Structure 1
Amino acid sequence: MYPSKTRFSMRVTGLVLLLALLLSSVAVAAPEPQRPSITAASAIVMDYDTGEVLYEKDADTMRVPASMTKVMTAYIIFEELEAGRLTLDTTVPISAANAQKSRDGRNYPASVPLTAGSKVSVDTLLKLILIPSASASCIVMAEYISGSESAFVQRMNETAKRLGMTAAYENSHGAHVHYLTARSQAILVRAFIDRFPRILNYTSLTGVTFNGKWYPNTNKLLPGLDYAYEGADGFKTGTISAAGYCLSATAVKNGRRIISVVMKSSNDRTRHTDSTALLDYGFAMLEYQSPYDDVAYHWCREDVADLKELGVELHAEGDSFRPDEAVTRAEFTAMLYTALEQSGTLPPEPALPEEPAEEDETAVPEPVQPLFYDTNGHWAQDYIEKATRLDLITDTDGYFYPNRLITRQEMMVILDRCLDLPDENGLGFADDGDIALWALEAAARTSAAGLFQGGSGNALRPLSTSTRAEAAAVLNRVTAML
C-alpha cells in the first residue's frame, strides 16, 4: 500500500528540513571581502594596532594634501605641550599681519577671523586648526613656536623624516601647494593617536564656537553629521583646487581602530563615501584575516595569526582562542615546545644510554612510567614530557601541575633556560622588588631582550598570571628573534 500524497509531502518536507539543519551545522569559511571601488586618485586603509596596510590605491604618489597639512602642525603643537614649553592655557598674541590673513579667504581659505592685538589660548587655536581648518591660526602657532613660519616648516619636514614619511612641506596650513603621499598621511595619523591619544578629544568634536559663531567640523563622518560612520572619532579634511577633496579618517569597532586616507576625490560626497567604503573594508578584513573568531578585534590578532601559521599548538577550542583567559602551565609548555620545533631551534636530544651487550630474552620489560604523576592522559602530556627530556622545563617533585596558571616570572625562567640570551639587565621597572630571587637573573635577561615589557605605571607584574594573549605575544617575539 502506497502512502497518501499528503503523507509523502510531509516526509519530503521533513527530509528537506533535516538536510537544511545538517548543512547549517557545517562551518563554512567566510568569503574574502570584495575590494572597494574607490574613486579617489590615491587611497589607503591601515590597521592602527599593527600598521598593516589592508588596502591601497596609488598610495605612494606625491599629491597635494591641502588642509590635511594641519595634522602635522597640530602634532608639533602637541610635542610642545608634552615638553612643557606650552600649556593649553598659554595665550598667543595675534599680530596685525595674521589678523589680516585670517580674513583673507582667497589666499588663506577656511578663514576664521582673529582680532589684531588679542590673545587666544593654545586650546582654542587647536580647535580652530582642526575643526573649521583655520589657516591663519596655523601661522600664529608656527611663529609662536619657531619664531617664523619657515623655521616651523623646517621642523615639519624633519619630523616627517623621523616618522618615516615621504613629504615635502612648504607651509604650515596647506592652503598653498606642497606634497606628500597617502601612505605618509596614514603613518602620521597613526603616530599621532599612538603618542598623543588626547588628540581625539579635538578631532571628535562636531564643531566649535568662537567669538559667538558656530563653526562645524569639515569631517562629516562624525556622529550626527551628513555621512555619520559608527565609531568615527576624527581626523582631518583638506580641500583646495590643486588637491581636490581629501580626507584622513579613523574609526573604532569592537576595540580595534582603522585609519583611512583618500586624496584627490572629485567632490565632498565622494571623499566621504570613499572613506566609508575603506573603513568598512578594513573592518571586514580584520574579521576575514582573523585566525579565530574571538581575536578579530583583539590586540593579539597578529601574534596569534603568526603562531598559527607557523604551526604552534595553541590549544584552541574550535573557532575560539580565548585570548583573555589565563594561560596554564600545560598550554604555555605546548606553545613553547611547538614554537621552537616549528622554528627548527629545539636543542638536541640527550644521548641515550648504551644498550647491554646481551639481553635476557626471558626478562619481562618494565612498563613505561610517565615523567609526572599528574600528566598521564593529559592533552599536553606528550609536549610536557618532550620538553622535560630536552631540559626546557625541570622535573622537581614528580608533579607538573599542568592546569595551574603560570606567572610572568615563571615564564621568564623557562624562556631563559631555552634561549641563549645576552647577560644584560633590562630591569628598572616600578615593581622590580616583587621579583623572586630565583627569577631575578632570568627577568633581567628576558626583559633586556624585549620579551617582557612594562605595562601601566611601568610595572612588570612578575607575580601576575599571564593571559593566553600575552603568552602568544611573548612567544611570537621569541620566534622573531630565533
Structure 2
Amino acid sequence: MYTSKSRRSMRVMGLVLLLAFLLSSVAIAAPAPEKPSVTAASAIVMDYDTGEVLYEKDADTMRVPASMTKVMTAYIIFEELEAGNLTLDTMVPISAANAQRSRDGSNYPASVPLPAGSSVSVDTLLKLILVPSASASCIVMAEYISGSEAAFVQRMNATAQRLGMTAEYKNSHGAHVHYLTARSQAILVREFIHRFPQILDYTSLTGVSFNGKWYPNTNKLLPGLDYAYSGVDGFKTGTISAAGYCLSATAVKNGHRIISVVMKSSNDRTRHTDSRALLDYGFAMVEYQSPYADVAYHWCREDVASLKDLGVELHASGDSFRPDEVITRAEFTAMLYTALERSNALPELPETASPEETTAPENTTLPEETPASEEITLPEETPVPEEPVQTEPLFYDIYGHWAQDYIQKAAQLDLITGTDGYFTPDRPITRQEMMVVLDRCLELPDENGLGFSDDDDIALWALEAAARTSAAGLFQGGNGNTLRPEATCSRAEAVTVLSRVIDML
C-alpha cells in the first residue's frame, strides 16, 4: 500500500517528467557554428553549388600563391584539350633547357627530372604538375601551347580577368613571386571543377610514379595521408619563402561540395589544420543555413531555400521537406499558386468564372417571369425563403483537405481541372500533367523543345504543352536524353521546376 507521502513524491516526479517532456518538445533554434580559428594570413570557404562565401579572412589581399599558380596552368591545358588542340596522349618534346630546369631545385623547386630530347605525354605532364608540383613541367606545356612562357602568361592573366579574378601572374609555375587573392583562387577552383570535373581524377591522386620514382601528393588532406579529411578529392598546395604555406582544397559530404583556401600559413602542419577547420565550418554552415534538415546536402537545397524565402507553401512536416517523396496534385497546386501569388504573376480571373459569380442549386426550376401588373399574395405565416448564394462549386473530394483553398482558387483561375467533379488531390502528379498545368498559367512562345528518345510516350493531350515547356527549359531530359513524361515527379523536382518558372517571370 502506498503512503500519502509516497503518493505525493510520485505526483511530484510525474510533474517533473511532464515538464521535462514539454521542454524537450519545444523547438530551440540551433546556435550558429562557431567561426574557425585560422592562423593563416588569408583564408576563405566557399559553397561550390552556390558560390556563396561562408567564411573569409582577409580574402582580398594580394598574396604570393606559390605553386597554387599551377591551377591556372592546368586550367588552360584543359581548355586546349576541350578545343581539340591537344589530347591526353599528345607527346610534348622536352628541350635541353627545360630538362636542365627540371633538375634546378634552387630556382625551380619541386623538381621532377625530365629526360632531355625525349617526349612526355600531356597526361603525364598534368600529373607531374598537379601531384608533386613539378615547375619545369609547367614551362614545357606553356611553351608547347603558346610558343613561349611569356605568351602563355598573357593568356593566364586574360583568363583570370575573364573569370573575375584579381591576379597578376608573371610565370606559369609559381616558383617565382607574383600575386593573387584567396578569393580569386577559390573562384578558379570552383570554375575548374564546374567546367572540367575530370580534373578531380588528377587532384585526388595520392601520388604518381615517373621514371621509376614515386612522388607523393603534397596535399596531405587526401585519404591515407597525414592530415586525411573525409571527402577530400583535391586541390593544390603552394610553398616558397615569400608565400609561406598555401593550400586550396575541396571536399564532398553527402553530395555537397565545399572549397577552402589558405594563404601564408606558417608551416605545413598549420596549412592543413587550418584547412580542416575551414572545411568543418563550411559543412556546418551548410547544415545551419539549410531550410530543412533533410535538404542540407541535397541537390535541391538552393531551390527549396529560395522558395521558402519567397513564402511558397511547401507543405513541409516540421523540419522535414521530404525531397525524394513523390509530389501530389494538391502539393503541386499549392506550391504553384503561392509561387505565382508571391511573384505577382497570378493570371486574371476568366470572365466566366468570377469568384463572386453565383449559381443556382441543382434541380431548381426558376419561375416564369411574372408580369409587373400582377401581384402575388403569399400567406402571412409563410416566410419567403432566401436563396443561398453559392461560389463556384468545389470538387467533391477536396472538402476539409489541407489544400482546399489553394485548389479552389487555382480552379477559379482555370489553372487546374478535375474529372467528373473530382480532383484526386492526393494522387501523385506526372511530368506531363505538370507540363499541362504550367502551360495553362504561363504565356509560353509556341516553340517545340521536343526531340527526346521517348517523345512517343507523351499523351496527345499533353503534346503541345510538353513541346512549349521543354522549349522554355522548364523540363529537361534525363539519361539517354529521355523526358519520362509518364513518370511521377518528386518534391525536389517540383521545386526545381517552380524555381525556373519564377526565374522566367
TM > 0.5 fold call: yes
Are the equivalent residues in 2 in contact too, given 1:370–1:376 (CA < 8 A)?
no
Q: Which amino acid aligns with 2:30?
A: A
Partner of 1:444: 467
Q: Distance in 1 between matches of 2:119 and 2:145?
A: 15
Partner of 1:248: 248
Q: Which amino acid aligns with 1:40?
A: A
Q: Distance in 2 between matches of 1:371 and 1:276?
A: 58
Are the equivalent residues in 2 in contact too, given 1:245–1:263 (CA < 8 A)?
yes
RMSD: 2.7
* Percent identical: 83
Q: Which amino acid aligns with 2:427?
A: R
Aligned positions, number? 480
Deviation, structure 1 residue 300: 0.8
Greater CA drift, 374-383 or 363-372: 363-372
Q: Distance in 1 between matches of 2:441 and 2:301?
A: 25
Matched, 1:53 2:42: no
Are the equivalent residues in 1 in contact too, given 2:128–2:134 (CA < 8 A)?
yes
Partner of 2:366: none
Are the equivalent residues in 1 in contact too, given 2:61–2:182 (CA < 8 A)?
yes
Partner of 1:201: 201
Are the equivalent residues in 1 in contact too, given 2:359–2:389 (CA < 8 A)?
no
With over 3 angstroms needed to count, the CA separation of the structure-2 counterparts of 1:6 and 1:119, relative to structure 1, is: farther
2:422 alignment partner, SS class: coil
Greater CA drift, 101-110 or 165-174: 165-174
Matched, 1:276 2:276: yes
Matched, 1:405 2:445: no
Are the equivalent residues in 2 in contact too, given 1:66–1:239 (CA < 8 A)?
yes
With over 3 angstroms needed to count, the CA separation of the structure-2 counterparts of 1:7 and 1:373, relative to structure 1, is: closer
Q: Deviations over 1:343-386 (max 9, x none)?
A: 22222334444899x9x941453777852222222221211111
Matched, 1:309 2:306: no
With over 3 angstroms needed to count, the CA separation of the structure-2 counterparts of 1:172 and 1:440, relative to structure 1, is: farther
Q: Distance in 2 between matches of 1:325 and 1:386?
A: 25
Q: How does 1:156-235 map to 2 (within 5 A)?
A: 156-235=156-235
Partner of 1:126: 126
Q: How does 1:312-351 map to 2 (within 5 A)?
A: 312-350=312-350, 351=354
Partner of 2:150: 150
Partner of 1:461: 484
Q: How does 1:288-437 map to 2 (within 5 A)?
A: 288-350=288-350, 351=354, 352-353=356-357, 361-365=384-388, 370-437=393-460
Greater CA drift, 191-200 or 323-332: 191-200
Unaligned runs of 5+ in 1: none
Partner of 2:23: 23
Q: Distance in 2 between matches of 1:406 and 1:223?
A: 44
Q: Which amino acid aligns with 1:31?
A: P
Deviation, structure 1 residue 475: 0.9
Are the equivalent residues in 1 in contact too, given 2:359–2:391 (CA < 8 A)?
no
1:141 alignment partner, SS class: helix
Deviation, structure 1 residue 165: 2.4
Greater CA drift, 91-100 or 178-187: 178-187
1:22 alignment partner, SS class: helix
Q: Distance in 2 between matches of 1:54 and 1:440?
A: 44
2:421 alignment partner, SS class: coil
Matched, 1:88 2:111: no
With over 3 angstroms needed to count, the CA separation of the structure-2 counterparts of 1:354 and 1:16, relative to structure 1, is: closer
1:456 alignment partner, SS class: coil
Deviation, structure 1 residue 90: 2.7
Q: Deviations over 1:419-459 (max 9, x none)?
A: 22334444444444544443333333333333223333333
1:457 alignment partner, SS class: coil
Are the equivalent residues in 1 in contact too, given 2:64–2:178 (CA < 8 A)?
yes
1:403 alignment partner, SS class: coil
With over 3 angstroms needed to count, the CA separation of the structure-2 counterparts of 1:445 and 1:151, relative to structure 1, is: farther
Q: Deviations over 1:195-248 (max 9, x none)?
A: 222221211111122222221111111122221111111110111222221111
Q: Distance in 1 between matches of 2:299 and 2:71?
A: 26
Q: Distance in 1 between matches of 2:4 and 2:384?
A: 74
Q: Distance in 1 between matches of 2:4 and 2:358?
A: 80
Partner of 2:503: 480
Greater CA drift, 291-300 or 459-468: 459-468
